[in-house]
Amino acid sequence: MYRYVTDVSKLSHYIIREFCINFNIAVDATLGNGHDSDFLGENFSKVYAFDIQKQAIDKYKEKNKSNVCLINDSHENFDEYIKEKVDCIMYNLGFLPGGDKEITTKWQSTLRSLETGLDVLEKGALVTIAIYRGHEEGKKEEEVVLNYVKNLPKNKYGVIVHSFLNRDNNPPLLVVIEKK
């Protein structure tokens, strides 16, 4: 088992833990099974967790985490719920592991979410985007997200992409954005 070249979720957790400046407000843009919300809840004072699937929200409610605010809505609607600057946003694009594979994040809402999310970022904040591209919508999201982030102004944002080069079957990518 590799220690660094492992899965993109562990890598994103490491990057956030080591390189985030402030640990006040975080956003889990795609709650799913809640692993990122658990991580964020342990490291940040307040977490907003979004998911369009009520089953994901209801399942996470059982954990009764007082600093995690669950929102049964699309991440593209950040601005309706978040009125303060945030220090970190995490995305795991794709479908709910173990859920209906027909219900996926969509490139249109992901792009709107990124645009809105960058506006609420505090200086020095991080955004991590795990792009699972092993399905049709994931391939579209990969294209749109990479095109968008490569055109961000370099005087405001640093962008890096972590990619597995010797794995088969469209392994996930991890995009990290740091706001200057």
- Residue 166 CB-density burial (10 A; 0-12 exposed, 13-18 middle, 19+ buried): exposed
Average pLDDT over residues 66-76: 96
Give residue-wise pLDDT tens across range 87-101.
Answer: 999 999 876 566 666
Going by pLDDT thresholds of 50, 70 and 90, the confidence category of residue 159 is very high
What top-level class would CATH report for the domain 8-179? alpha beta
Give the contacts of 96 (CB within 8 A, at least 6 positions apart).
32, 33, 53, 55, 56, 103
Give the contacts of 89 (CB within 8 A, at least 6 positions apart).
26, 27, 29, 117, 121, 125, 126, 127, 128
Structure tokens at 23: 């640990």
Structure tokens at 149: 């982030």
Give residue-wise pLDDT tens across range 114-140.
Answer: 999 999 999 999 999 999 887 777 788
Going by pLDDT thresholds of 50, 70 and 90, the confidence category of residue 165 is confident
Whole-model pTM: value is: 0.93
Tokens 């209801």 sit on residue? 58
